[in-house]
Amino acid sequence: MTTTTDSTYKVADTSLADEGRLLIEWAESRMPVLMALRERFKETKPLQGQRIAGCLHVTKETAVLIKTLAAAGAEVAWSGCNPLSTNDAVAAALAEEGVRIFAWYGQSVEDFYWSIDRTLDFKPTLTLDDGADLIFRVHSTHPDLMQTIIGGSEETTTGVHRLRAMADEGKLKYPVIAVNDAETKWDFDNVYGTGQSSLDGILRATSVLLAGKNFVVGGYGHCGRGCAMRAKGAGANVIATEVKPTAALKATLEGIRVLPMDEAAAIGDVFITATGMKDVLCKRHFEVMRDGAVLCNTGHYDCEINIGELEQLAVSKRTVRDNCEEYTMADGRRIYLLAQGRLVNLAAAEGHPSEVMDMSFANQFQAMMMLAREGKSLSNGVHVLPEALDQEIAGIKLESNGIKIDQLTPEQEAYLRDYAAGT
């Protein structure tokens, strides 16, 4: 691994920049909402003077967000939020465009935090996070920076949970906007994005036939539901496991079989975890799995599959395909782990498609704008974006797809407020 370093960037290989530029162009052509925001603010530059430290998967879609933030006047420094999710060609293109970027595929955990620290060197005024590792790093090792940080944003469910827990204990020292909680993020990215990108990762790593296979989804939240929907569409027999009765009931009513993982483990062919919880798959499950079972995770952290216990049970291990390791058990059964248990959609594929990240990142852009405008008056807690923003983002999306919708007439608007109009 050779990394090219300069005081303002560290990437795997700057010679990949041309390939990265083509990937970014591809994404830009499928992200009309972000491009409309870039057009709207490129002259007035409302983020002028803001220094944004970002810690979010370095993909072709993230590059479009970075370029849009820069076009609106912000200075940007960036690191990846997972050691295996950086697209090195995109990182090279961003470095060539002068972005302070510290990210490369296959980082060690030490590299990961070294990269975050480099983005903090430029003393950000805003932080933009996916999984809250950046915000937590500021709180734990760079508390002095909180003098200059106005606020931050958080992309993902797990990160928002983590920040709410910090805020509940009074430990969150600056305001954060939960981008994940915007409807045009969670109800689209988490469902349709995760559903398609997770299957993309599984198929790139294994090329297994999904039709007819027992496909076990650990967790039937928005992400798990998306994975179940897409696996069902591919002809798999989908089984969901849950700890929350309402989520399990929703799976049941959507025609998905629900089992405890202890039972599903014995009949599953493909397993994907999407819970945000640790040890969803562990020793007692590996011991009963079928020969050839494929395991992967699409949750933010790599704690959902207990890899230590899988290693202990295995008598041998070898890499048989890119992002696919074969663990052989003492009785000869082979179990396949994808992407080292890290999020399979980004580590073995390209993450969610541009079209859906367009809306997630439009919310990130608006979160930065809101913090720049009023961050100093927000309390040190977790905040949400105005609901009207969802309708605006969805409206631009519909328009870009040439889809027209109805409008309420003045009489209908009046009817909405007419509480006396009963039966």
Q: Is 133 among the residues that bind ligand 3DD (CB under 6 A)? A: no
- Residue of 360, 365, 366, 396 that binds ligand 3DD (CB under 6 A): 360
Q: Is 153 among the residues that bind ligand 3DD (CB under 6 A)? A: no
Q: Is 357 among the residues that bind ligand 3DD (CB under 6 A)? A: yes
State the nearest-atom distance from the C-beta of 81 to ligand 3DD, in Å: 8
State the nearest-atom distance from the C-beta of 292 to ligand 3DD, in Å: 28
Q: For residues 80 and 268, which CB has a smaller minimum distance to ligand 3DD in the complex?
A: 80
Q: For residues 62 and 184, which CB has a smaller minimum distance to ligand 3DD in the complex?
A: 62
Q: Which stretch binds ligand 3DD (CB under 6 A): 55-63, 108-116, 277-285, 319-327?
A: 55-63
Beta strands at 334-338 and 257-258: parallel, antiparallel or unpaired: unpaired
Q: Which stretch binds ligand 3DD (CB under 6 A): 43-51, 53-61, 143-151, 198-206?
A: 53-61
Which distant-in-sequence residues (6+ apart) come within 8 Å of 291 by Cβ? Answer: 332, 333, 334
Residue for token pair 């002028």: 48
Per-residue contact track with ligand 3DD, 176 to 215, x per CB under 6 A?
A: ----x--------x---x---x------------------
Q: Is 62 among the residues that bind ligand 3DD (CB under 6 A)? A: yes
State the nearest-atom distance from the C-beta of 130 to ligand 3DD, in Å: 5
**Which of 297, 367, 273 lies closest to 85 in space, CA to CA?**
297
- Residue of 127, 153, 156, 184 that binds ligand 3DD (CB under 6 A): 156
Q: Count other Cβ atoms within 10 Å, centred on residue 145.
A: 19
Residues that bind ligand 3DD in the complex, under the rule CB under 6 A: 57, 59, 61-62, 130, 155-156, 180, 189, 193, 197, 300, 346, 351-352, 357, 360
